[in-house]
Amino acid sequence: MSEDKNTNESDVCEACGTIVELGSVIAEDDTVLVLPFEGADQAGVNKLAQKYIDAAKARFETVEVTREEATTAQGFSCNVTLAFECTAEKLIFEMGLSAI
């Protein structure tokens, strides 16, 4: 590979409604995605979190899901952790987040 690259660090491309920096380094062990949800209503927060969990499980049957729920000064929070089998699965899911 030539070191004479004609690239700019600020170059970006769009894919599936997301913007990704060109030349991003993809780590082989980057398989965990944490999605934070917050709101005044516990039922509403849980409903939204479940929507993302269902989308992940529909696309990737082997995804492992954990939830951490807490009461906050603003109401309620829920962190959903999705552990995918490989980095590609995580990236594919992230690129589709805008469609959920």
Q: What's the full length of the chain, in residues?
A: 100
Alpha-carbon Rg of the chain, whole angstroms?
Answer: 17
Q: Supply the pLDDT for residue 100.
A: 87
Domain locations in the chain as residue ranges:
28-99
Confidence label for 20 from pLDDT (cuts 50, 70 and 90): low
- Distant-in-sequence, close-in-space partners of 53: CB < 8 Å, separation ≥ 6: 65, 80, 82
Tell me: the pLDDT tens digits for 22-38?
556 778 899 999 999 99
Tell me: the pLDDT tens digits for 62-83?
999 999 999 988 899 999 999 9
Assign domain 28-99 to a CATH class.
alpha beta
Q: Mean of the pLDDT values across residues 3-27?
A: 56
